[in-house]
Amino acid sequence: MNNLKTEDQTLASHQDSNRTHKNVMELFVSQEVEQQRSQLSENLAKYIDPIEVATYALNRLPPLYACSQQGWQYQKLQAQSQFQQITIAVRQALAAVQRDPIKRSTPLIPSEETELQEAQAALAGLQNLLHQREVSWNNLANTVQKALTKTATEAIKQVLPKKARKNPIHQESKELNLVVYDWKDSIIESKDE
């Protein structure tokens, strides 16, 4: 029997889970790198790449991965108990990077997995911004178009009555006729008081 998953099975199992995993140690190391880097002279600090420092330090510290909020909180406590180790690892990393601050290296480009995580985070941000949990990549353009149209229509409704009060031509009529477009660009006549 073939134990290998088919591409469809792998894709289906990946789509079923929006879970991810994160290394708590990365957060603590990044904070410590910024804290120690801020204590360096401005001239030296501009030549120190915080990514290189963090990478050096992380390779000398134990990983603390979590995939749930409870795990994240637990791992944060573990990292706090290792604060002295983190401080020392970052100090050593700064010293190592300072030995050759102008060296040239080719940075890694984000992997497909990283890009997927960034895309998922962007979609979640749009869901929060639009206050619509049902937003997906499939309906994103349509949902954003509706939100923008709604916002523009509301803004026009607020501005036009004010202009009508200032303009004596419109004062002859008690009602202001607005032309509002629905989602299919057909005209709907509405009366706004």
Q: pLDDT grade, residue 16 (50/70/90)?
A: very low
Tell me the two tokens of residue 37: 């880097």
The whole-number pLDDT of residue 169 equals: 52
Instruction: For residues 31 and 94, state if they share a domain.
Output: yes
**Which of 54, 85, 107 is the last residue before a domain boundary?**
107
- Amino acid letter, 167: N
Instruction: For residues 89 and 163, state if they share a domain.
Output: no
Please state the rounded mean pLDDT for residues 27-44. 92
pLDDT in tens, 63-88: 999 999 999 999 999 999 999 999 99
Instruction: For residues 132 and 117, state if they share a domain.
Output: yes
By the 8 A CB rule, do 127 and 141 touch? Answer: no
The CA-CA-CA angle for residues 180, 185, 190, to 5°, reads 20
Instruction: For residues 89 and 64, state if they share a domain.
Output: yes
The whole-number pLDDT of residue 122 equals: 87
Return the higher-pLDDT residue of 89 and 10: 89
The whole-number pLDDT of residue 193 equals: 43
Q: Say if residue 1's pLDDT is above 50.
A: no
By the 8 A CB rule, do 54 and 108 touch? Answer: no
**DSSP H or E stretch at residue 35:** helix 24-37
Instruction: For residues 24 and 45, state if they share a domain.
Output: yes
Count of domains forming the chain: 3
pLDDT in tens, 36-65: 999 988 888 888 889 999 999 999 999 999
Instruction: For residues 26 and 103, state if they share a domain.
Output: yes
Q: Which domain holds residue 66?
A: 20-107
pLDDT in tens, 144-192: 888 888 888 888 888 776 666 565 554 444 455 555 555 555 555 554 4
pLDDT in tens, 90-132: 999 999 888 765 566 677 777 777 777 888 888 888 888 888 8
Tell me the two tokens of residue 117: 């995580």
The whole-number pLDDT of residue 137 equals: 86
12 domain-assigned: no
